[in-house]
Amino acid sequence: MKIHLISLGCPKNTSDSEYLAGLLQASGASITDEVDEADVAIVNTCGFIRPAVEESVAVILDLEELKQKGGLKKICVAGCLVNRYGDDLKKELPSVDFWAGAEEWAPLARSLGLQPPAQPVRGIIPETTPWSRYLKVGEGCETLCAFCTIPSIRGRARSNPIPNLVAEAVKLAEEGAKEICLVGQDLTIYGRDLYGEPRLEKLLSALDSELPSDVWIRMLYLHPSRINEKFIDMVAGSERILSYLDIPVQHVDPEILKRMNRPPDGGHIRRIFSYARSLDKYFALRTTLMVGFPGETETQFQSLLAFLEDAMIDRVGAFTFYPEEGTGAALMPGQVDDDVKESRYRRLMELQSEISLERQSLFVGRRLKILTEEIDEEA
């Protein structure tokens, strides 16, 4: 049986899809990169935000058309979209043969007549970058932000034990990975469900001591309220943990943060970014911001721009607020007009483009240790 696996969405989904691919291969199936060669197509979907939902549905519709032309025998849809809209989707997309929620890989394999192994096996998919691999430390989230669907889709936080993660990271390094990227909905609460308190620092220490000296450790998605100077000191003092913090702050105005159901301490956010740069002016900072949240005024938006100018963040991902179905923010008064949201988004990204360019100019003339992803023989 030849299976074409499509992985949509975030790095966590990429990790999930690698495990799904490994399970299918261990069950006797082969994975093909070409959908025209496949008997079965599996889509591991994203359903976090409206654009991701639309992308997932569009991919499924394309596969349905291919199936109707005789190019596929079966279509399987898995992942977050199923968790969020499963019953409705089954009515709207009758050509899909099997539905599986996030991480329901064994039932999916059995639905195809395969016998999955008892232990998880990690495989390779087209989205896999062999030199940089994701290590998913857990699943779910405890932070109930007013705009977010993840807790309702993925559930409460569940951590993977430290010994298991260390063993997996070592295996990835043995397979050639030179960078291990820790991913989760929020790394800062890692381990609380298992150990009674967060254990991210202990996990990092274990990885630091067990991984080969030429392997980097990168962290993705840290909640700002649980980052402090001690943690930043540990990161800055490590030769293996990259001086890179990905901290999605969403906003800095206290009133907006409060409405988002996030700690309303914009001052803390500013302090941790400033402290990191006080240790090392090259310390890499990334964040995610949201514009147009219900009730956001022009003055509050201006405070966001001022934050960017002060913090000089290297990379920013920005979104316009969308009233996602099932979230508290969708029902809030003070919804901002779409044209205002789009205008604020453009203004923010124009400013950030200038800041990113200025930050990049700091590296002109420096000699750096880099991770080579590809060599262009013609360059």
Give the pLDDT confidence of 117-172 residue by residue, as tens digits: 988 888 888 788 899 999 999 999 988 999 999 999 988 999 999 999 999 999 99
**Residue 309: partners with Cβ closer than 8 Å, 6 or more residues away:** 351, 355
| pLDDT in the model for residue 124 | 82
**Which tens digits make up the pLDDT trace of 312-337?**
999 999 999 999 999 999 999 999 99
Q: Which CATH number fits domain 2-111: 3.40.1260.10, 3.40.50.150, 3.40.50.12160, 3.40.50.300?
A: 3.40.50.12160
Q: How far apart are CA 259 and CA 257, in angstroms?
A: 5
Residue 98 buriedness (CB in 10 A; 0-12 / 13-18 / 19+)? middle
| Phi (first) and psi of residue 170, to 5 degrees | -60, -40
Q: Which of 79, 17, 5, 16 is nearest to 47 (CA)?
A: 79
Contact 275, 229 (CB under 8 A): yes
Q: Calculate mean pLDDT across residues 285-308.
A: 98
| Residues of each domain in the chain carrying CATH 3.80.30.20 | 132-361
- 379 has a pLDDT exceeding 80: no
**Residue 304: partners with Cβ closer than 8 Å, 6 or more residues away:** 251, 252, 253, 289, 291, 348
Q: Calculate mean pLDDT across residues 357-364.
A: 97
| pLDDT in the model for residue 142 | 86
| Residues of each domain in the chain carrying CATH 3.40.50.12160 | 2-111
Question: Model-level pTM?
Answer: 0.90
In CATH, the number for domain 132-361 is 3.80.30.20
pLDDT category of residue 87 using cuts at 50, 70 and 90: confident
Residue 53 buriedness (CB in 10 A; 0-12 / 13-18 / 19+)? buried
- 377 has a pLDDT exceeding 90: no
Residue type, 244: Y
